[in-house]
Structure 1
Amino acid sequence: MKILYFAELKELLNRSTETIHLDTTLTVQEFESYLLKHHSELKSKKFQIAVNEEFVRQDDIVQPGDTIALIPPVSGG
């Protein structure tokens, strides 16, 4: 899976992308739990998850070859 980090998440982790190797499908909720175990600094951050450029729900499925984007809330004026 290719993970894309945007805005403050990118700055917090000091990376814009990461590849993780999982050989199984996960729900979005399971993926988020996995990610927070490996990047505990994200626990206090709010973000939406998009899979293959589409926003998803917690019970949607992610596959090993998917591209997953973590997108924090955006404000502007």
Structure 2
Amino acid sequence: MKDEYDFANGTRGAVVESSGKTRITIFLDDDILAAFRERATQTGKGYQTLINETLRTSLSPESAPLTAEVLRKILHEELRAA
């Protein structure tokens, strides 16, 4: 290893992007952010990870609200099977 390096002709390389993730800036209410940070401390996860998990869960089909149309479909299927 040299004692000194000459970076006079150096160029900055591209920033390594993490796959599947995009950096964004959002505004959250102070109490919401505090709650996520508190929960992150309790679980040992990062608060941004918890926010991402919460958003993913809220977008999953299983968490969709039970609408009258969905209820009718379920009842129709169950009555037909009986």
Scaled by the length of structure 2, what TM-score is found? 0.18
Scaled by the length of structure 1, what TM-score is found? 0.19
The structure that has the greater radius of gyration is 2
Q: Which has the higher helix share?
A: 2
Relative contact order (alpha carbons < 8 A, sep ≥ 6): 1 or 2 greater? 1
